[in-house]
Chain A
Amino acid sequence: MNRQAIKTGLHFAVRTVRAGRARRVGQAFLAAALATVLVAAGGPAIAQTAPAKDAPKAAGRAEAQDLPDPATPDPATTAPVSDSATGLIPDPWSGPNHASYRVTRAINRAAIAPAIRAYVRVVPTPVRTGLDNAIRNLDEPRTVANDVLQGRFKPAGKATARFVINSTVGVAGLVDVASRIGIEKHESDFGQTLGRYGVRSGPYIFVPLAGPSSLRDGAGRLVDIFADPLGLLVGGLGTIFGDVRAGVGAVTERTSADDQLKQVDSTFTDPYASIRSVYSQRRASQIAVARGHSQEDVSQLPDFGAPPQIAPTAQAKPTAAKPVPADPAPPSPAPPCRYLECYDAP
């Protein structure tokens, strides 16, 4: 059934593109087919391996040079993690991801951040807010589509109401009238939709210039781009509307994240690990909501046990050089901890 679905999808997509009838529709099909192939390839493999709680967790992976040896896969990085609030998205591609992070950070510091701050200085706040509102308003049809696919009809109704109100009374979305009358904004994407139906995250990916993602969420993003309802109706990438929308959207999104990004280096001691942690938790929470829960399953949170006996003499002697051991294991067997590393009261 699975293979048949993929075969049918690809066949139909290729025929559609060859026929040259609708380039955009062909793109949408190809994106959907790609997503299908990715989840078909990744989903079962990820779902069938051991549960996260039985494996050491991936946090604390060392620097980029510490790529796992393919011959002896490191369970810390290949272990799957469910979309629970307490699990990290696995990072088997830690080396390329670290490299991508470093490049992104360098470009951000050298070019993007100064450009964004110049934009903030030059463009008045009301204009920036209006642009941000308008761009976000264009995403509402995508949210509606994903809400419907997730079987969440009440949020779909809210997003529809927001789109109608803001597009009309809110002057093409420039003013967020809907929020002012209590119709709150939310966002849904195809990665969430896949997660809602049990597709696991797959490996963590730090996309150059775009930031944290995962195999599932990256595939979902492709579907969101190429099968975006408004993009298909008015124009996607490659059209003036689509290109302006993407360009302005990138600027407004980066601008709204600027304050948080500025705090990353002063808040975290290992920004790469922390960004991965934040992304993993946030996506888990969003997928819990997509599954119809008000929040994540609190039973999976780690225990805050009583402090353990602290060794009176030095044990944690510093080692001189990197790379560090893959996992400086504790002297005693690990307690049955569901999260990274925690301890229970003795």
Chain B
Amino acid sequence: MTRHRFKPPLTQAAMAVALAIGGAFAASTFAPREAHAQASHDAQAEQFVAVQAQRIVTVLDDHATSPADRTRAFRAIVDQIADVPRIATFVLGKYARTITQAQMQRFAPVFRAYEQNVYETQLSNFNGNSVKVTGSVVRKPGDVVVNTIIGGRGYKQPLAVSWRVLGGGESWKVVDVQAGGVWLAITQQQDFVSTTDNNGGNIDALIAQLQQQSQQRRDTRAR
């Protein structure tokens, strides 16, 4: 009769996990790693984000003013620092090639209102009051991702937020914002393209839905 030696559960668990890892190693044949380019930083883009992100955070954290005034001030900043027309075209994805001028004229203001609302909602959730730039990566000249840490009241932990800015010199515009690994405009593109696909490529259906959602938000606020 074979005797089995007792092994502590943790040892067994470690072996089990090691086994799975071994299988993964063998099976995956080490998919090639993406080369992370060691791009240089851009001090001017960092300066732009440091100033503008601090403006946004300060406005959203200013509880001395009324919510309506806060919203107005916030939207004015977004209009100044975000390249909304470029974002509007980007989020349409493949439909940016087929949208008509008339449709674009209807889509642009609806999207602008939608975008301001989404930015405000998302950034308000952060509830921070200080911005610290931790670095930047140049994708290509004039296209920079600036990394920041937003800290302040209401946090257990500071929040990492990345800002994608396009431009050069002292002239920059924000085109996307990332928090928790999720880019806002990229997500919107997938959202809008999927909705338009589901409506047979009809962009008017997307515009109508955005209008409807904006109205619902206004109604909710009014209540």
Q: Which A residues form the contact surface with B (CB < 8 A)?
A: 1-2, 5-6, 8-9, 16, 19, 21-22, 24-25, 28-29, 31-33, 35-37, 39-41, 43-44, 47, 59-63, 82, 84-86, 88, 145, 149, 176, 179, 184-185, 190, 193-194, 197-200, 223, 227, 229, 232-233, 259, 263, 266-270, 272-274, 276-278, 281-286, 291, 293-304, 306-308, 310-322, 324-325, 327-332, 334, 339-343
Asked whether A5 lies within 8 Å of B197 as measured between CB atoms, the reply is no
9-residue interface stretch from B14-22, B49-57, B59-67, B73-81: B14-22
Interface hub of A41, A44, A176 (most chain B Cβ within 10 A) = A44
Q: Which of B58-112 contact A (CB under 8 A)?
A: 83, 85-87, 89-90, 93-104
Asked whether B23 lies within 8 Å of A59 as measured between CB atoms, the reply is no
* Minimum distance in angstroms from A338 CB to a CB of chain B: 11
B24 within 8 A of A: yes
* Minimum distance in angstroms from B85 CB to a CB of chain A: 7
Main secondary structure of the interface of B (DSSP, over half): helix
* Minimum distance in angstroms from A252 CB to a CB of chain B: 15
Asked whether B24 lies within 8 Å of A324 as measured between CB atoms, the reply is no
B123 within 8 A of A: no
* Partner pick for B20 among A61, A190, A200, A272, CB 8 A cutoff: A190
Asked whether A29 lies within 8 Å of B16 as measured between CB atoms, the reply is yes
- A33 CA to B190 CA, complexed, in Å: 36
Interface hub of B36, B99, B180, B190 (most chain A Cβ within 10 A) = B190
Asked whether A149 lies within 8 Å of B21 as measured between CB atoms, the reply is yes
Residue ID in chain B nearest A48 by CB atoms: B29
Given contacts A21-B6, A60-B193, contact A232 B23 (CB under 8 A): no
Asked whether B100 lies within 8 Å of A312 as measured between CB atoms, the reply is yes
The 6 closest A-B pairs by CB, nearest first: A285-B181, A319-B200, A36-B23, A318-B202, A273-B194, A32-B16
List 16 A-B pairs, Cβ < 8 Å: A29-B16, A31-B16, A32-B17, A36-B19, A59-B190, A60-B193, A269-B206, A273-B195, A281-B181, A281-B182, A282-B182, A299-B39, A317-B202, A328-B94, A328-B197, A340-B190
Given contacts A274-B187, A300-B34, contact A312 B198 (CB under 8 A): no
- A266 CA to B36 CA, complexed, in Å: 36
* Partner pick for B34 among A37, A82, A324, A331, CB 8 A cutoff: A82
Residue ID in chain A nearest B95 by CB atoms: A316
Asked whether A60 lies within 8 Å of B86 as measured between CB atoms, the reply is no
* Partner pick for B19 among A5, A233, A272, CB 8 A cutoff: A5
Asked whether A60 lies within 8 Å of B196 as measured between CB atoms, the reply is yes
* Partner pick for B97 among A40, A300, A308, A313, CB 8 A cutoff: A308
- Mark each residue of chain B from 179 to 205: 1 if its CB lies under 8 Å from any CB of chain A, else 0: 011110011011111111111111111
- A329 CA to B98 CA, complexed, in Å: 10
Asked whether A298 lies within 8 Å of B139 as measured between CB atoms, the reply is yes
Band of interface residues on B: 35 or more
* Minimum distance in angstroms from A322 CB to a CB of chain B: 7
In the complex, which residues of chain B have a beta carbon less than 8 angstroms from the beta carbon of A44?
27-29
Given contacts A310-B104, A322-B200, A324-B200, contact A40 B23 (CB under 8 A): yes
In the complex, which residues of chain B have a beta carbon less than 8 angstroms from the beta carbon of A8?
19
Given contacts A44-B29, A301-B183, contact A310 B101 (CB under 8 A): yes
Asked whether B183 lies within 8 Å of A281 as measured between CB atoms, the reply is yes
* Minimum distance in angstroms from A226 CB to a CB of chain B: 8
In the complex, which residues of chain A have a beta carbon less than 8 angstroms from the beta carbon of B220?
266
* Partner pick for B39 among A47, A62, A63, A298, CB 8 A cutoff: A298
B147 within 8 A of A: yes
* Minimum distance in angstroms from A198 CB to a CB of chain B: 4
- A29 CA to B17 CA, complexed, in Å: 8
Given contacts A319-B200, A330-B98, contact A197 B13 (CB under 8 A): no
* Minimum distance in angstroms from A14 CB to a CB of chain B: 13
- A329 CA to B93 CA, complexed, in Å: 12
Asked whether A5 lies within 8 Å of B9 as measured between CB atoms, the reply is no
- A198 CA to B216 CA, complexed, in Å: 44
Asked whether B20 lies within 8 Å of A39 as measured between CB atoms, the reply is yes
- A333 CA to B186 CA, complexed, in Å: 21
